[in-house]
Amino acid sequence: MQQAENTWELVDPELFSVFMTETNEQIEQLVSILLHLEQEPQQQTVYINEMFRIAHNIKGSSGMVGMDDVKETMHELENLFGLVRDGKRLLEKSEIDLLLQFTDALKDYFQGNAGASSLLSWKERFEGMMTATGPAALSKPLQEVPLVLSRQEKLTVASWQEEGKPVYGVELFFTQESPMRSSVATAFFRHLQNYGKILTAAPPLNQLAEDDFAALKLVLLRETPLSLEDEEAIYGFPAEGIREIKIRLWTYHEEARIGDRERFVETHTIRVESDRIDHVINQVGKLLTLKTSLRHLYDHGYQGKATWQQLGKSIQELEQITNNLQDRTLELRMIPMRRLFARFPKIVRDIARQSGKKVELKFSGEDTEIDKEIAEELVDPLTHLLRNSVDHGLEESEERKKLGKDETGHILVEARQEGGHIVINVTDDGRGIDLEKVREKALGLGLISNEEYLSNRELTALLFHPGFSTAEQVSDVSGRGVGLDVVKDKINELKGSIEVKTEFGQGTTFSLRLPLTLAIIQAFMVKIGDQVFGLPVTDMERSLVIKESEIHYVNGRPIYYRYPEVIPLLDLGKRFNFPFKHDPLRMPVVIVNYGRSRVGFVVQELLGLEDIMIKSLQKSMGKITDISGAAFLGSGDIALILDTQTLARDLTALN
C-alpha cells in the first residue's frame, strides 16, 4: 500500500479529480455491460470493443496520473479483452461474475478500502485467465473484505466510548489452504457473542457462505474490559485452518483515514452539455447590453416622460433576463435520473444472489432531471429501500409459485416531476406489510395505547420509528424497520418526505417526494417583531388565524384544540427574543407537520410564499440549531430560514 500512497501524494489534486470522475463513469459503463452479458453471454462479441476501450482508457489515464498499479492491472484486463475481440476465446459466465467482483475491488481501491496487494492479486488472476483452462482457471481469489463502519455505527462507537466502555477489534486470519472457512467463521462469530455485543463484521454474517475471504473482522462492544481469561479463550478458539487471531482495543477517530487522497476523491465535478453553457453565456451577453443601456440613461439624466418609460422597459427586461439566467444556471446542476439509477442493477443483483431469490429490476422516468447534489445524497436511502424490497419484501421463488405469482420477484423504481418536486417510487410485488403486526409491535413498544385508533397511513408511519421492525428473523438486511429511521432522517435533511403504501400479499411502495434542487426553495414568509423568517413549504400543512380565547393551557403550556388533534403552540417571538404585541382577536399561526404530529408556530404576520435562494450561515457564528440558513429578499431584507423540524421536536418533547 505504501507505493500507492506515495504515488497519490504526487498527483495534482485537480488532475486527480478529473481522473476519478471519468474513471467512475467508465467503471459504471463496464458494470452495465457485464450485467447484460451475464444474462446473455452470447452477445459479448457485440460489446467487446466497448469493453476493450474502457480498459484501455482507464489504463492510459491511470498511467498519466502516476498510478502504475492500476495501469498494470488494466493492461492485463485489456489483454484478456483483446483475446475475446480477436475471436480467440469467449468469457464464461463464471468469468463475467469474477469481472463484476473486480469492479467492486477497483472501487474499493479508489476509496481507500483496499491496498495495492488487492490489485496485484487481480493482475495475476487476469494473467492466469489468459493461459489456464478448465475449472482451476475459474477459482475465486481470496477477498480481503474491508471493515467500514456506517455513519450510525460510528456514532454508536463514539457514544459507547464516551460512557467509558471498551470497544475491541477482533480479527481472525485463515491459512491459504484453510478448509470450510464459512463454517469456522460462523462458529467463531457465535463464540465471540459470549463475550459482548458484536456491532458489525466483515464479511457480514449473511455473506460467510461465499467462503472466499481471507479474514473475518469484527467490532466487539463490552461493558467492561476483557479479562486475561477472556482473551485466552478467544485466542484458543479450537478450529483448523486459523493462521492468527488478533485482539486490540479499538478506537474511532473522526479524521479522514486516507488523508489527501480522500480530499481528492470528494472534489465535486459536473459534466455539462455545451448547449446549456451556451444558453448561460447568451443571457450574460444580454445582461451586459442592458448594463450599457442603464449606464446611458444615468449619464443623460432625467429628460422627461421618455426617460421614465425607457427605465421601466429596462427594468422589465432585467427581470426577464435574471429569471432566465436563474433557470439556466440551475440547469447546470441537473442530471438525468438514469445516472443515479445506473448504480442499482448490480447492487440488486448482489443482494438477490445473497438471499437466493430471482429478482427483476426495472426503471421508469430515467430522463427526469434532478440536482446532482440531491442525487448523490439519495444513493444510500434508495440502496437501503432496495435491500429491504429484495430481502424482506419479496418472497422465496417456491413461495411465490404457491401463491400463483411469477417465481421472479419484480421491483420498479420510477421517477417523475411534479411542479418543483421530484417523486421517486420504489415498488415491489412481494408479500406487503402486515399492518396488524405493525400495530401489535407498536403496542409492545409503548408507542400507542390499546384504545388509540390509527389509520393505515399512521400505521405505516410507525415503521420509521428508531428501532422499529416486524422482522421475525434478524439478518444483515432483513426487516422493513431496520434502519428506516435513518432513511427518513436523510430525506428530511433534503427537505423531502417519504410515505409507504402497502397491500398485504400484493406488495409495497415507498414514495419519496423531494425538491428538484436545494439551491432555491419555496418558503412561506412570516414576520416576527422586525425580523422576517421563512418556513420551507414542504414542512407546512396550512396557516390560519385564531383568537386568543381559543388557546388552552395544559400544565402551563399553550395548545390549540382542533378535533381530533391537540396541537401544541410555540410563540416564535418569545423563542427568538423578538417580542411583538398580540392582537387577541387575530393571532396568525402556521401549522407544521412533524412525523405523525402537528405543531403550531404563533407569528406576528403572514407574508405569503416566495422563491428564495438559501445561503448557509458562516461557521464563525457557531452552531445555531433553530436556523438552517438565510436568504436575501427582493426588498433588500435578510430572511432567516427556520429549521422547523428541530423546533417541532423540541416543542413535542416538552409536551
User: Count of CB atoms within 10 A of residue 186's CB?
Assistant: 15
Q: Is residue 176 predicted with pLDDT exceeding 70?
A: no
pTM, two decimal places: 0.59
- Distance of alpha carbon 482 from alpha carbon 386, whole angstroms: 13
Reported as a single tens digit per residue, the pLDDT across 133-142 is 443 344 445 5
Q: How many of the other CB atoms lie within 10 Å of CB of 431?
A: 21
Which helix H or strand E contains 463, and what residues bound it? none
Q: What would the 3-class secondary structure string for 168-218 be?
A: EEEEEEECCCCCCHHHHHHHHHHHHHHHCEEEEEECCHHHHHHCCECEEEE
Within 10 angstroms of residue 107's Cβ, the number of other Cβ atoms is 16
Please report which helix (H) or strand (E) contains residue 588, including its range: strand 587-594
Average pLDDT of the residues in 185-203: 89
For the domain 520-654, what is the CATH code? 2.40.50.180
Whole-number average pLDDT of the chain: 81
Omega before 203 within 30 of 0, i.e. cis: yes
Output the pLDDT for position 12.
58
pLDDT band for position 259 (50/70/90)? very low
366/444 Cα distance (integer angstroms): 42
Q: Which residues contact 101 (CB under 8 A, 6 or more apart)?
A: 140, 143
Q: pLDDT-based confidence at 520, cuts 50/70/90?
A: confident
In 236-303, which ranges are continuous DSSP H helix? 259-265, 274-300
- Greater confidence (340 vs 652) lies with 340
Helices (H), 508-564: none
| Top-confidence residue, 473 or 221 | 221
pLDDT at 509 over 80: yes
- Residue 155, phi then psi, degrees to nearest 5: -65, -35
For residue 333, the 8-state DSSP code is: T
| CATH topology agreement for domains 151-251 and 520-654 | no
Helix (H) or strand (E) holding 132: none
**% pLDDT > 70, the chain:** 84
| Helices 68-85 and 2-9: angle between axes, nearest 10 degrees | 100
Q: DSSP string spanning 337-385?
A: HHHHHTTHHHHHHHHHHHHT--EEEEEE-TT-EEEHHHHHHHHHHHHHH
Angle, vertex CA 32, rays to CA 339 and CA 477, nearest 5: 80
Q: Which of 136, 234, 145 is nearest to 187 (CA)?
A: 234
Return phi, psi of residue 416, to 5°: -155, 155
Which candidate, 220, 226, 214, 230, places its Cα nearest to that of 169? 220
DSSP track, 605-653: EEEEEEEEE-BPPPGGG---TTEEEEEE-TTS-EEEEE-HHHHHHHHHH
pLDDT score at 474: 42
- List Cβ neighbours of 542 (8 Å cut-off, separation of 6 or more): 591
Q: Prior bond to 564 cis, omega within 30?
A: yes
pLDDT class for 325, splitting at 50, 70, 90?
A: confident
Give the position of cell 403486526.
437
Contacts (Cβ under 8 Å, ≥6 apart) of 577: none
Q: Which CATH class is domain 151-251?
A: alpha beta
pLDDT of residue 167: 92
Sheet harboring 531-536: ordered strands across?
Answer: 605-613, 520-528, 531-536, 638-642, 627-632
On the 0-12 / 13-18 / 19+ scale of CB atoms within 10 A, 612 is buried
Q: Could you tell me the residue ranges of all domains in the chain? A: 2-138, 151-251, 274-332, 336-515, 520-654
Query: Is CATH 3.30.565.10 the classification given to domain 336-515?
Result: yes
| Residue keyed to cell 407498536 | 442
Which amino acid, one-letter code, is at 427? T
Of the candidates 155, 245, 124, which has an alpha carbon nearest to the alpha carbon of residue 192? 245
Please return the burial class of 295, using the count of CB atoms within 10 Å of its CB with bins 0-12, 13-18 and 19+: exposed
Region 54-81 average pLDDT: 87
Strand 531-536 to strand 421-428: parallel, antiparallel, or no bridges (unpaired)? unpaired
Give pLDDT, residue 121. Answer: 80
> Would strands 359-364 and 409-418 be described as parallel, antiparallel, or unpaired?
parallel
Kindly state the average pLDDT of the residues 282-293. Answer: 81
For 2-138, the fitting CATH number among 3.40.50.720, 1.10.10.10, 1.20.120.160, 3.40.640.10 is 1.20.120.160
Provide the grid cell at 532.
422576517
| The three three-digit cell numbers of residue 27, written as one number | 467503471
